[in-house]
Amino acid sequence: MWFRSKPGKHGRPQSTPASSKAPAHPQLESRLQIARLPVDLLQDGMRVVKLDRPWTDVPVLFQGFTLATDEEARILRQYCNWVLVEDEESRLIPVLDQIPSLKQRINEPLAEMRPLHHEMPRAVEAWSRTHQFIASTIVNI
């Protein structure tokens, strides 16, 4: 098992160029960036560095890992609302542009599918069965 040193130790900046050498072409230079993302926007290859809850509350093997499968993303969606990811700036920008569309809410009420007088017989029957079940449970206690 290997351990990753904490960012900021040994004088390393948190945001670093992808390679320590100067790139041959300036436009090919990519910088790593850390961003907070909703779990719905996670993609394979993103490095998850922090969760919205303690790592011990989520069934993952390692703290800080790179998403490799849809199963890993599904687990994060099940347990978390957002995560901090580290990825190339060029790859994060399109993902970050999708966040405002996720925040829009639809405030239109749902259309009434059936009139109330058609639903009442089913509701009365469900209430009666529930009442009988609770009464029998109390008697059997």
Q: Which domain holds residue 85?
A: 30-103
Kindly state whether residue 62 falls inside one of the protein's structural domains. Answer: yes
How confident is residue 64, by pLDDT bands cut at 50, 70 and 90?
confident
Give pLDDT, residue 85. Answer: 92
Q: Say if 47 falls within a structural domain.
A: yes
Q: Which residues contact 40 (CB under 8 A, 6 or more apart)?
A: 77, 102
Report yes or no on 52 lying in a domain.
Answer: yes
Instruction: State yes or no: pLDDT of 3 exceeds 50.
Output: no
Residue at 110 is within a domain: no
Q: Residue 49, Cβ neighbours under 10 Å: how many?
A: 16
**What does the block give as tokens for 138?**
């109390």
d(CA 118, CA 100): 41
**Count of domains in the chain?**
1
Tokens (6 digits) for 55: 């790592």
Predicted local distance difference test score (pLDDT) of residue 98: 82
Residue 132: pLDDT over 60: yes
**Do the beta carbons of residue 39 and residue 70 sit within 8 Å?**
no
Q: Are 28 and 63 in contact (CB under 8 A)?
A: no
Question: What is the rounded CA–CA span in Å between residue 17 and residue 3?
Answer: 22
pLDDT tops 50 at residue 122:
yes
Whether residue 109 is contained in a domain is answered as no
The predicted-structure confidence for 75-117, as pLDDT tens digits, reads as follows 999 999 999 999 888 888 888 888 777 777 667 777 778 888 9
Over residues 30-63, the pLDDT tens digits come to 688 888 988 888 888 899 999 999 988 988 888 8
Determine, yes or no, domain membership for 19: no
Assigned domain for 76 exists: yes
Q: SS3 helix, strand, coil % of the chain, rounded to 5?
A: 45, 15, 40
* Model confidence, pTM: 0.51
Domain assignment present for residue 131? The answer is no
